[in-house]
Amino acid sequence: MQQTLNPTNNTQQMMPNMQATDTLHGGHELMDVHEVLGCLTSTLDQYLLYQQQVKDPELRDMLNRQHQFILDNYNILCECFKSGRNPSHHTTRYTMTQNNDVIYGLQPGQPKKPHTNASQITDQCISGYMMGLVKSSASVMTMGALEVTNPVVRRVIADSVPNFIEMAYEIFQYQNKHGYYQVARLDQNDMVNVINSYAPATGQQLQ
């Protein structure tokens, strides 16, 4: 967990007729953070819909924990976005409950295709939707953090990205152990060739 910065250390001298809030955000930043907040809102709303459909208690517990974490993340981002200053508490670290064991290899199964009825939506489908939402949020927040000029808002968004990566990995672990997300492996010789295709650099310091 990293502390947010105090924007008062980076304030610039205001021009005449400018309000105090005019110095808090740049124009491009406003639109990027608007997109981040919209993405988080969509994720939270869709998690609510999925919560009514999930059958597996393990997946429901994961969904509830992630929803609560994302909601808190959304609230502190709203808070510092409006004020330009430190939120009421710092970003926290998401802790997943899945282990790090990965099952490798592909097993044959039925081809996937779009469903024709909502009753066909399963926990496998929902976990996939959750994965898509969390990955999208991580991408949007990464792009947004690169455009934000306010130091507090930038730090809150940047510190949030690793948490969304962790949530995506937790969903992957759940999918993988249930056979929903299979991991292909290359031929052993091909794997070795790819791994050995790069080597550490030496003597590359710029003068």
Percentage of the chain surpassing pLDDT 70? 89
Residues 28-39: tens digit of each pLDDT = 788 888 999 999
Q: Which residue has the higher pLDDT, 13 or 206?
A: 206
Residues 104-142: tens digit of each pLDDT = 998 888 888 898 998 899 999 999 999 999 999 999 999
Give CA angle at 21 (20, 24), nearest 5°: 110
Residues 77-89: tens digit of each pLDDT = 999 988 888 899 9
Q: Which two tokens stand for residue 75?
A: 């609230």
| One-letter amino acid of 142 | T
What class, spelled out in words, does domain 26-104+123-195 have in CATH?
mainly alpha
